[in-house]
Structure 1
Amino acid sequence: MILAYVDETGDTGNPELAGSSGCYGLGCVLVETERWSESFEAVLGLRRNIRSRYRVGVRKELKANYLIRGSAHLRPLNLSPNDRHVIYRSHFRVLHQMAPLGVRAFGVVIDKEMSAWSSPQDTFDNAWITLLQRLERTSTKRRVELMVVHDEGEDKRVMQAVRKARRHLPAGLHWGTGSVVNPARYFVEDAVSRSSANSYFIQMADLVAYAAWRTHQHPGRGAALVCPHTMWNLLGDAIHTPVTSIKAGPAPGVVLR
């Protein structure tokens, strides 16, 4: 079985309003259940190294927003932008090192202006349908069961999206017009909601989501000190390239809508 850990970045609101992001995105980290323990130990080893070097507790949540701003529990530590860059970068290097264990990552980015923003619900649906289409193709081609594990907050909407995908998941044709329907037959159970504070892999998905966004919409000077638009490349062999095998996005493994 594959566990697909998912988290979001940005917001689904009107991009013309002050404070709303230009993009909304999802990051996904795929972990093989047969190698889950080895993968977890690799991430735990990373967190212990970060604790030793930067005094960030292994149970403290590390998400993109905290690292970019030096906020939340990182604020008292007074970590420099370079320190926070090294922490961000080290996560991606560990993901690359876990590629032989079957760990992969990809992102979905919704450019709200390019996609002609109409409502928060449509933006949310566009992102999740796009992500579930890629997960359906991944699970079907390998004939392996897959479960979605996501950050809590949109539990009902994600549950409904996954349930619907099991019965009816449209997919655009690569060549020509129209669409086909590929029910996600290998999806099992409802999507599982977990607090990101209690899941290293959901925290990883958050970092993946933000870096995927920044391959398309480059960060400002301050954010770039921590996560430059080239951060994505450090995923290396962990990039799940099949999601962009036909229609290229801003980077391999980043689907742009």
Structure 2
Amino acid sequence: MTDSFDDPPPAPPSERASLADGLRFAFGTLSVLPARITRWDRPAARSGMACAPLVGLALGLLAAAAGALLLVLGGGPLLAAAVTVAVPAALTRGLHLDGLADTADGLGSAKPAEDALRIMKQSDIGPFGVISLLVVFLVQVAALANVYAEDGWASGALAAVLAAATARLAMTLASRAGVPAARPEGLGAAVAGVVPRRAAAAVAGAVALAATLAALPAGLPGAAQHAAAVAAGLLAAELLLRRCVRRFGGVTGDVFGALCEVAATAALLVLALG
């Protein structure tokens, strides 16, 4: 990765996208929530990927509401956790889980980058992909069920929101300047390197601060744990990102999906261990 490169100079006003354009790009690309994409260009992608954690916030709130409702209606923590995990998958058409499976197949193929990328584009799922999906889904459900059982619905809801926002924050950081695209086409090419590193760092700081403040009513240890969960999710995603860049020569849309799921899983693990 070429993160040592300086950020590109600010784009002139004619090449900038509005916040509304960015939000439409983010929600229209990263979810099935109603959003009409008005621009599909690099400026819109820059604004949109910077707004990606807001998509996570919306998906996390919807997931948390579904889980809390099940608990109120008498469903157990395990059932509530399974539904909470399923909601973001449904609201993204399973694209991020599909990206995780394809990335696992590509990484596990032990073939040259060009062949690995070809494997990732195939519609079928190989053994590495199946195993990855099972492990990630089981760990997310088990971790969230533990939070629901030990700390109650409010803590479980906060965990769901934090995991979803951290997952999309990982996408913001993967879109930072210096991270190349593995292919000349596709979502990866559209968003690779579009977010200046300072902007990506600012968004990461804002998400970490928000997570800490949201957990502060539970005490300083809880606030610190939630900050650590964000950090753990981003660290896990960064390690995977670096591996994918070395292996494939850059990022693809599948890699972004894998980063999302890995970040969410790591964040939930930290919250479950508290």
TMscore range, shorter length = 0.3 to 0.5
Question: Looking at both structures, which has the greater relative contact order when contacts are Cα pairs under 8 Å and sequence separation is at least 6?
Answer: 1
Structure holding more helix per residue: 2
Q: Would you tell me which structure has more strand in proportion to its own residues?
A: 1
For normalisation by structure 1, the TM-score amounts to: 0.32
Q: TM-score, normalised by structure 2?
A: 0.31
